[in-house]
Structure 1
């Protein structure tokens, strides 16, 4: 007892104004403990049971003094760490602190100015300083084992273990030093074991410091170290603080690089980094909901806001038609992880992160709708006034349909954005435009109507482009070509699911009508040279005149139409078959009926230039005109997108 007596003599109350946070916390603790004071009248002598309790509490203080002074950071002869040197002794240290706290409760109720209470106060400050050092050392030296990815992967087992411990007393809380953590019964790697022990140690220290009134010191250390880890991880993911002006100055390659970084990083950030930090924080500070909310907020709020602000900055940057696809990628990524975002950032203090993610969604949606509207307007304002040679596919048709087919691949995203936000012009679509019964039902109806409307705007614009041709027949061939391209693009893409088979059938009929009109306008002059009834008697001169007229008409039509083009093979064959069906039989009948009358005619080969069998051969040469750059249906998707802005201008 000599050591204890000397310690009592050396111990003096610490002045209240020394500025030490620990004393301030302890003073608050004393104030709260005073409510537990026993109201025992002075006139009643202490009972034997009371004497026994007092003796036991004093013994607790003496035992704590032996353990705590041994690990006094200010008097340690060598730089040692308790939880690293002796795990059994670490458990005893925690138990001593808890016993010391119980003794302080008792002493406050008996005599708030006793020497024992002053000694206990100094010992508690000494113990908290040691635990503060231990807490920092475990956090800083076990960064590898407390990696958010590792913690996140074990979240379900930690949760199950925490639930199983919920009914245990304070003495049983500290499991780390017993090596019987949440995975003790499983076959685990050494790295996983060390990770589990580090988490248990941190929880034990945090519980002890918080319950002793020193939570502020513990929280400060935790926030500093874990926030640095979050910031470092975000930096490695390529996430940095940027502004809209910086994004506007990026060239396409740099812009694409940063978008890809973010899209690749969101899964890691949400499912690993932020989720792992939430799991670790919930485990270490399970003692107090308020403290774990404060800690998690301090660790992740700044990084989380910075991470989810990037899509908003992209949405606010300079718009272009091709940028819409990256905006939809960003939108889809946030919606895919929205349930996790809500769960991870469910605390009220960290809700600004969730609000930032939501705001990014809203800004992306607004920007996507604006780009769609501007795209539609650019079709209407297209001022390209040079007729496409041969009546081929207009660059506007190519670029717009490639663009719309890509939009159809994002029908899920667009459905969320466009539902209940269609423009008034779309209500002008005729009721018969869609005949499929499912087109006006369900959320997909909005995107179906929007894309159908844009295609209708394109078709109307093509009508004005057809007027640029001086030859009416060629204008009809142009319309047939372009509408056939549109129909085929719908048929071979996701547009078919959105617009339906009836839409395709309706527009195929329109293509056939354009082709029929072309045939009439291009070949009516040739057809008119042949008599309706070849068996009617005609003079030789009349027969000669008919052959000359046919020769001239056919040669002119053939010469002209060899430079015209029908790119779709099926449509080309249908047109040629139709022409041959109407022309060859009539010519054959005229030829066979009247050729005998000219048998004695000089230069018969000049007069009768075409045999019936040769007509079909000539017709087979038609509509293979010179390919027009950018008009082929096989043009690559990427090159089409790169021309969108130019073609729409």
Structure 2
């Protein structure tokens, strides 16, 4: 019977445990060394898990078979608690022991303590003692080696997307899995608030660091107001791209990480994510608010449109990240407020731009009747507005435009949209202002050259810009091309009627060929000399006038030639008794002189 009993499984296990304890007790020079040996042996056989030190091992062996390891009962649990307590104590007190035992063994010890904490004060105390180490582990993992995100200076003109996947944000997948393992134990132990505090602190700092790499930084309103335009322009441009990256990569990744770490407590996870994201989101919105309330300079409009479009683009994504009526309502309200402020800024900036056009009061005429700088500026401005017409339709609504009746006559459905009416009104203000500017010129012919130059530029820019052409319509283009022809006619009348009717006339007063079959009378010397003087003056003046567009310049020369050359040919055809004395210019010379007109370089004819 003794032989059979000794051969039983329980007896064999007892002998293994006893032998192991004897070896450890014989070789160990200290209690810590003994514990280290027990831990080493346990890696070969789980039955050798260090349930006790050599000293307690003797006591365990003396306590009878009911309390022996592997036999169950209170004795076994007490040994497990004692072992867990010892591992926790050693790792907490000695960094070298912590390195020897390793984090996984520490977590197994915590598991044992948590399992018994509900009915053992000793186990509960061990769990409590383990929490600082677990908190530090969570903090270390959440702050370790974040993946770098950045937008280079070359990326700000493109819809740049950071390279990191939204999964886990800037945290590596391995680190995220480790955090979850530690967090699960803290949550099971009832230390959710402590976990939340550590988690929020670490991830809030990591998120702020990553957002800063994308160009998101805290800027006070006073700084924005004082900022030079070149610096502010760069910041506004970067913000428009960074807000998309922050919402769709950083915050989306943080939400996924939160969901994973707090899988067993979703409500706490939602609260933690809101706390992590709050500072970053408010910092993003703070810059946009500062831009919105700063001076509404016209040069800021295009960048403000970009910021408005970027924020409204990510608005649904941002609001969807938050759960719970409280958090979602808070962030939705903050975003909506900023969107409204940016929209209000856009409306007032456009309105003030119209006032600036109307109130422009410089009294300096542009040399040679060239295109006025204001015309170029306004057309560039309107072109940018046209490119964002969808956004402007939302922002403007029915505000600030009063020419709906004109819109119905343009033959284009887009012409009735708020953006189309806005652009049409700005161009109308511009053309009225150019009409006022034309009065700065004393010469009526130059007044019409100036008006022609500016209107032709407007029409060409509208024709060449698909968004502008679509918004204003072909009827608008036809009407204004007709106006250009009217300015041309007015120019010809103002500049050439006197020459044609006074100096290149027949004796009967007509400025055309003599009737067929009639002999022409000799021209009057006074008429020839008068034409010479008049043409010299016109040549001096109109070579200094500038018609910027080559096609328009050629059209004007042709229009002048069609009136002047036939009349001069007829004038010469009448004959003269003293052609050398009075006729200084041949027909060919006159045609060549015409090629110098409207080049903006004054020239002189010396006869």
TM-score, length of structure 1 as denominator length: 0.71
Q: Report which stretch shifted further, 246-255 or 453-462.
A: 246-255
Sort the Cα spacing of 1:295 and 1:322 in 2 relative to 1 into closer, same or farther, 3 A: same
Deviation of 1:274 after TM superposition, in Å, equals: 2.1
Alpha carbons 2:88, 2:110 under 8 Å: kept: no
- C-alpha displacement of 1:83: 10
Distance 1:76 1:556, change over 3 A: closer
84-93 or 409-418, which moves further after superposition? 84-93
Q: 1:355 Cα shift? A: 3.1
Offset, 1:246:
2.1
* Structure 1 residue 535 displacement after superposition: 2.9
Aligned twin of 1:166: none
Does 1:423 pair with 2:396?
A: no
Q: Is the 8 A contact 2:408 2:415 kept in 1?
A: no
| 1:304 to 2:277 alignment | no
8 Å contact from structure 1 (residues 393, 485) kept in 2: yes
After TM superposition, the structure 1 = structure 2 runs for residues 230-241 of structure 1, keeping only pairs within 5 Å, are: 230-241=207-218
Shift in Å, 1:249: 1.7
Task: Write out per-residue CA displacement over residues 557-589 of structure 1, whole angstroms, 9 at most, x where no aligned residue.
Answer: 333322222111111111111121122123323
Name the CA distance, whole Å, in 2 between partners of 1:84 and 1:490: 77
The Cα shift of 1:527 comes to: 2.1
- Return closer, same or farther for 1:362/1:82 CA change in 2, 3 Å cut-off: farther
Distance 1:353 1:136, change over 3 A: farther
* Residue 477 of structure 1, CA deviation: 1.6
**CA displacement, residues 199-221 of structure 1 (integer Å, 9 cap, x when unaligned):** 23322332333233221222222
SS in 2 for 1:361: helix
Structure 1 segment 104-183 matched on structure 2, within 5 A: 104=118, 117=119, 120-141=120-141, 143-145=143-145, 147=147, 153=164
Contact 2:183 2:195 (C-alpha < 8 Å) held by counterparts: yes
Deviation of the 1:152 alpha carbon: 9.9
- In the other structure, the counterpart of 2:494 is 521
Aligned to 1:439: 415
- Helix, strand or coil at the partner of 1:606: helix
CA distance in structure 2 between the aligned counterparts of 1:437 and 1:318, rounded to whole angstroms: 35
Taking structure 2 as the reference length, the TM-score comes to 0.75
1:245-273: per-residue Cα shift (whole Å, max 9, x none)?
22112223443343345345334422333
Label 1:430 to 1:462 Cα distance change in 2 as closer, same or farther (>3 A): farther
Segment drifting more, 86-95 vs 323-332: 86-95
Of 402, 406, 411, the match for 2:384: 406
Q: What are the ranges of 5 or more consecutive residues in structure 1 without an aligned counterpart? A: 2-54, 105-116, 160-190, 628-649
Question: Paired residue for 1:79?
Answer: 95
Q: How does 1:254-293 map to 2 (within 5 A)?
A: 254-293=231-270
Stretches of structure 2 lacking an aligned partner (at least 5 in a row) = 1-13, 15-70, 151-161, 603-607
SS class of match (1:520):
helix
1:578 maps to 559
Per-residue deviation, 1:282: 1.1
CA distance in 2, matches of 1:88, 1:395: 74
* Residues 1:556 and 2:543 are matched in the alignment: no
Take 2:274 and 2:100, find their aligned partners in 1: how far apart are those partners? 30
Q: 1:207 aligns with which of 178, 184, 188?
A: 184
Matches of 2:205 and 2:461 in 1, distance apart? 52
Deviation at 1:495, TM superposition (A): 2.2
The higher relative CO (CA closer than 8 Å, separation ≥ 6) is in 1
State whether residues 539 and 597 of structure 2, in contact with CA within 8 Å, keep that contact through their aligned partners in structure 1. Answer: yes
Q: 1:617 aligns with which of 578, 588, 592?
A: 592
Secondary structure in 1 aligned to 2:500?
helix
Select which of 202, 210, 225 maps to 1:248: 225
1:67 shift after superposition: 4.1
Which of 367, 392, 397 is the aligned partner of 2:345?
Answer: 367
SS at match of 2:402: helix
CA distance 1:71–1:336, shift in 2 (3 Å): same
Tell me what 2:459 maps to: 487
| Cα distance in 2, alignment partners of residues 449 and 564 from structure 1 | 34
**Residues of 2 paired with 1:415 and 1:80: CA distance?**
68
> How far off is 1:138 after superposition?
4.0
The answer to whether structure 1 residue 469 and structure 2 residue 441 are counterparts is yes
| C-alpha distance after superposition, 1:286-319 (max 9, x if no partner) | 1112110121122221232122211111111122
Q: Residues 102-144 of structure 1: CA distance to partner in whole angstroms, max 9, x if unpaired?
A: xx4xxxxxxxxxxxx3xx1330331243254124224315633
Quote the offset at 1:88 in angstroms: 5.9
Contact persistence 2:414–2:471 (CA under 8 A) = no
CA distance in 1, matches of 2:148, 2:373: 52
Matched with 2:361 is 383
Query: Can you list the C-alpha shifts for 1:455-474, whole angstroms capped at 9, x where unaligned?
Result: 01111111222233332222
Q: Distance in 2 between matches of 1:617 and 1:543?
A: 25
Contact kept? 1:149, 1:272, Cα under 8 Å: no
User: Within 2, Cα distance between the matches of 1:477 and 1:393?
Assistant: 10
1:448 aligns with 2:420: yes
Aligned equivalents of 2:192, 2:99: Cα separation in 1: 19
Residue 504 of structure 1: which of 463, 477, 480 is its match?
A: 477
For residues 413 and 190 of structure 2, the distance between their equivalents in structure 1, rounded to whole angstroms, comes to 69
Contact 1:309 1:356 in 2 (8 A): no
| CA distance 1:64–1:226, shift in 2 (3 Å) | farther
- 8 Å contact kept, 2:308–2:343: yes
Measured on the aligned residues, the alpha-carbon RMSD in Å equals 3.4
2:224 and 2:294 in contact (8 A); partners too: yes
Query: Of the candidates 313, 330, 334, which is equivalent to residue 336 of structure 1?
Result: 313
Distance 1:230 1:275 in 2: 11
Question: 1:467–1:475: 8 Å Cα contact kept in structure 2?
Answer: yes
Residue 371 of structure 2 aligns to a residue whose secondary structure is: coil
Deviation per CA, 1:311-346: give whole Å up to 9, x if none.
Answer: 111111122111112212222222333333223334
Distance of aligned partners of 1:205 and 1:75 in 2 relative to their CA distance in 1, 3 Å threshold: closer
- Residue equivalent to 2:37: none
